[in-house]
Chains A and B, each alone.
Chain A
Amino acid sequence: MPGLTGRVLIAGVTTHWGRELAAALVGREGVEVVGLDPDRSGFDVPGVRFVEADLRSPSVTSVIAEVDPDLVVHCGILWYPEHGEPSRTLHDVNVIGTLNLLAGCEGVAGLRAVVVRSSSAIYGTSPSRPIFFTEEMAGELPLVTRFQRDVGELEGYVEGFARRRPEVTCCLLRFQPEVGPGLDSPLVRYLSLPVVPVQLGFDPLLQLLHPADATGALVRAVEGPLPGPVNVSPDGSISLSRLLRLTGRIPLPLPPIVSDIAARRLGGILHTADMYRDARLLLRYGRGCDNRRLKRELGYRLAFDSEGTARDLARRRHGREVPVATVTAGVVAV
């Protein structure tokens, strides 16, 4: 294991991934974990020094300088607007938050690395683009949706910081959507609906990241960060139709206009401001990422491929899995 020592500051420590990372790092020899978020209520990882501060406020910069971390991990980037919050919040948290975080890092002389939990949404999704995006393809494509622009902007800030401070390793992890039984995200809630509305005539090819791999890759990157972007995506793909079959959900194909209206209604049900454009596009055309850099350069060994993630979701939901052979044999024996 690479020698991870020193003080690690986790921004967005109360998010699912911030908590997972903190739990994985706490108690390691020579590692001190400091968590940063506006509100500590409900945070239950012992051994973490909690600093209450809001990344959106400029005063956070002096807080970071005071903590004087060796390593900064940014887990505070939000993928989707929470119910009842305007999507403006997303922009503030993601873009302004990152800007303030980096401003704080400028004042830390001994900083070794910055690791940012970013999103593969930066590549966008469209039928006329490569099936598997490699890391260098992010700059070549127009940024279409608001979230995509936000991710592009915040990654730009991180790259700017990396240029100004060449001695600091700045690692951008671009995560594919995670799906798992222990997770609570609009995608997981969507896949848990008894009847799942899908877009008539489209069957996106998806890559589903297992939560264990999402945490594992994040920890791996903190232990030995690489400069530049790294896609965190599983091997293989799975179509939405097969995913729904494996997890025993009934698809409800809706024609375009109806599905747009349904998406807005669904946004209410899934506690998201609305099924925002990124998700609608993703569930129409799908998106894949090349993970060779993750495997070869970062040296992370994935435990699950996309199909494995889907099967794990199905298994834990149903409690047990009926072997196919039994069902087939049963049908033939009738």
Chain B
Amino acid sequence: MNQPPATLPEGLDDALQLLGRAVRRARGEYREDEWGFDREFAESVFPALELLFDRWWRVEVEGISNLPGQGRTLIVANHSGTIFPFDALMIGTAIRRLHPHPRWTRALVLDWVFELPFVSYLMRRLGGVPADPANLSRLLDEDELVMVFPEGAKGFGKPFSERYRTQRFGRGGFIAEALRSGTPIVPVSVVGAEETYPKLGEIALLARLTGAPYFPFTPTFPLLGPLGLVPLPSRWRIAFLEPLDLSAYPPEAAEDPGLVFDLAERVRETVQGGIYRGLVERGPAFG
């Protein structure tokens, strides 16, 4: 006669834990911070991001130690991706996985995104915040790690033929905020995201109908429908570059448009330099 098992089989145990969590969440028993970031939800999608990081894009990371382990920090990166901001998610994944002091990253997101049904609260739960100087200022005052993409939609939606050429870095608002709050800037260059959805052109009519800044077409989208939304498995390389220490400047320096512009340009050049090196080191995008 067999003894009854002392513990539940592993699969059943996991399933019950998952069920328990689902019940707890259904009763509202989870945490949200004042920005609507839901840590437990972010943790639950993390394995999927890790899979993309390791297997799909085989991301190589360089210079992770350039990122401070604590305190207010501003990551400034180049932007691309056309359809989904996987570059932001992969930078965040790199920090969670590889940094000796892993922490969650807040990303400033084009505010148009927050008008979209479903996407808006998905973004928020994962740490997205509408790109507004007041939001950036408050996040930095709360000593958060914030990620900005100053190229905005111009970088995100540029045609494939212009890949890896950084666009103008906005009006340098991020520099002004960093100066005011005494935040170090870590420039980050991302290579590989440009090939996930190569943008071949735009469908102006659909952009007008949806109110989107642009409506792209890629070799697979919208031709293959939802299947066309599967990103191409390019090889990635993310470099965390030498931090830019602004502590030598007084907070009033934020009021000097000339200085702000110069510093923004310096960050852009650093990121662009990182992209060129990354392209050489990565080699061909596919294979």
Does the CB pair B114–A128 fall under 8 Å?
A: yes
How near does chain B come to A134, taking the closest CB pair, in angstroms? 7
Does the CB pair A332–B20 fall under 8 Å?
A: yes
Does the CB pair A128–B20 fall under 8 Å?
A: no
The verdict on A27 contacting chain B, using a C-beta distance below 8 Å, is no
The verdict on A236 contacting chain B, using a C-beta distance below 8 Å, is yes
The interface on chain A, measured as residues whose beta carbon lies within 8 A of the other chain's beta carbons, has a size of 35
- State in angstroms the CA–CA spacing of A324 and B20 once bound together: 10
Does the CB pair A127–B115 fall under 8 Å?
A: yes
- Chain A residue with minimal CB distance to B29? A324
User: Which among A200, A202, A334 has the highest number of chain B CB atoms within 10 Å?
Assistant: A202
Stretch of A182-190, A237-245, A294-302 with 4 or more beta carbons under 8 angstroms from chain B: A237-245
Q: Quick one: given A128-B112, A128-B114, A131-B135, are A246 and B27 in contact (CB under 8 Å)? A: yes
User: Which residues of A sit under 8 angstroms from B118, Cβ to Cβ?
Assistant: 201
Does the CB pair A236–B120 fall under 8 Å?
A: no
Does the CB pair A130–B134 fall under 8 Å?
A: yes
- Chain B residue with minimal CB distance to A253? B117
- State in angstroms the CA–CA spacing of A331 and B17 once bound together: 9
User: Which residues of B sit under 8 angstroms from A316, Cβ to Cβ?
Assistant: none
Contact residues, B87-143 vs A (CB, 8 A): 111-112, 114-118, 120-121, 124, 129-130, 132, 134-135, 138
The verdict on B24 contacting chain A, using a C-beta distance below 8 Å, is yes
User: Which residues of A sit under 8 angstroms from B135, Cβ to Cβ?
Assistant: 130-132
The interface on chain B, measured as residues whose beta carbon lies within 8 A of the other chain's beta carbons, has a size of 33
Contact residues, A175-204 vs B (CB, 8 A): 200-203
The verdict on A81 contacting chain B, using a C-beta distance below 8 Å, is no
User: Which residues of B sit under 8 angstroms from A235, Cβ to Cβ?
Assistant: 34
- State in angstroms the CA–CA spacing of A137 and B30 once bound together: 32
The verdict on B23 contacting chain A, using a C-beta distance below 8 Å, is yes
Q: Quick one: given A130-B135, A242-B30, are A328 and B24 in contact (CB under 8 Å)? A: yes
Does the CB pair B114–A237 fall under 8 Å?
A: no
Instruction: Fill in one digit per residue for A104-135: 1 if any B CB lies within 8 Å of its CB, else 0.
Output: 00000000000000000000000111111010
User: Which residues of A sit under 8 angstroms from B28, Cβ to Cβ?
Assistant: 242-247, 310
The verdict on B1 contacting chain A, using a C-beta distance below 8 Å, is no
